[in-house]
Amino acid sequence: MGNTVKTALLLGALTGLLMLVGGLIGGNGGVLIAFIFAVILNFGSYWFSDKIVLKMYKAQEVSESSAPDLHAIVRNLAMKASLPMPRVFIIPEETPNAFATGRNENHAVVAVTEGIMRILTREELEGVIAHELSHIKNKDMLISSIAATIAGAISMLATMAQWAAIFGGGRSSDEDNGGGGIIGLIAMAIFAPLAAAVIQMAISRSREYLADAGGANITKNPYGLASALEKLTKASQIIPMNAKPSTAHLFIVNPLSGKAFMNLFSTHPPLEERIARLRSMKPY
């Protein structure tokens, strides 16, 4: 419940930032224009996300006959989670990882890499699949799309502020406060997108904690997922994944974790913290 409330508060903060930035630049009209453009830009990503990301990683759909064990795990856990059976894909990638995508429960996809199926036990793989099904059940694709839309609108408004400063926007304000108008626009152009990105990443991290807890609830065994995360932590460092930053938030462990990203801008919480939380839970 705590992470659900946190997500709501963070989305509220992101919306508040949008209203503040829009009001300072162009009033309600500025907010509306930027928001409409952001919706248009993110609509395609939300609606066609599964096709885009699956093609990006050359994922291949597998049937029940070609991957019976994997299908059995997904089907069993989907039933426990009261979800429709998602489509199942395998990514030809040695780095162990997995993700779920799709715009809703009826158009969901669960994808795992070849590498993750080689190193995890059945219990651990069940923990990973349950985590991904929890993302689907929690409508995390929709929430991340909303956050991306609002953050995108803020970035557009910041760009407007930048051009306004370059071409003399805020000139009248300069006369009133001795140059504060242009300085304010420049500061907004720099810090507003930064603040939006920090909030957006915080939303993503809160959803990961929620999916961990939800996955543990589906399997009734938090230790399976904890053990899987421990293995994935080590393996992802040994076999780095050539992943796109725009899709990093989808994976169960950050495929970019081996690179120099500050925790503040990470799409995932620290793995040590996730594992500790799962280890502190009792089996159901």
Q: How confident is the model at residue 150 (pLDDT cuts 50, 70, 90)?
A: confident
Strands (E), 10-145: 60-61, 87-91, 98-101, 109-113
User: 101 forms bridges with which residues in the sheet?
Assistant: 109
Q: Give the best-scoring range by mean pLDDT among 14-18, 146-150, 226-230.
A: 226-230
How far is residue 84's CA from residue 12's CA, in Å, rounded to a whole number? 31
133-147, pLDDT tens digit by residue? 999 999 998 888 788
Give the residue-averaged pLDDT of 206-222: 96
Q: Identify the three-state secondary structure at position 256.
A: coil
pTM of the predicted model over 0.95? no
Residue 119 to residue 234: CA distance in whole angstroms: 11
Point out which residues pair with 89 in neighbouring strands.
61, 111
- What type of residue is 109? V
124 included as an active-site residue: no
- Of the candidates 94, 132, 208, 272, the residue annotated as catalytic is 132
Task: Report residue 86: phi and psi, to 5°.
Answer: -80, 165
**127: Cβ–Cβ under 8 A, 6 or more apart, which residues?**
215, 216, 219, 221, 222, 224, 225, 226, 227, 228
Instruction: Compute CA distances 261 → 94, 201, 254, 255, 275, whole Å.
Output: 23, 12, 10, 11, 20
Question: Which pLDDT score, from 0 to 100, does residue 172 have?
Answer: 44
Domain ranges of the chain: 2-280
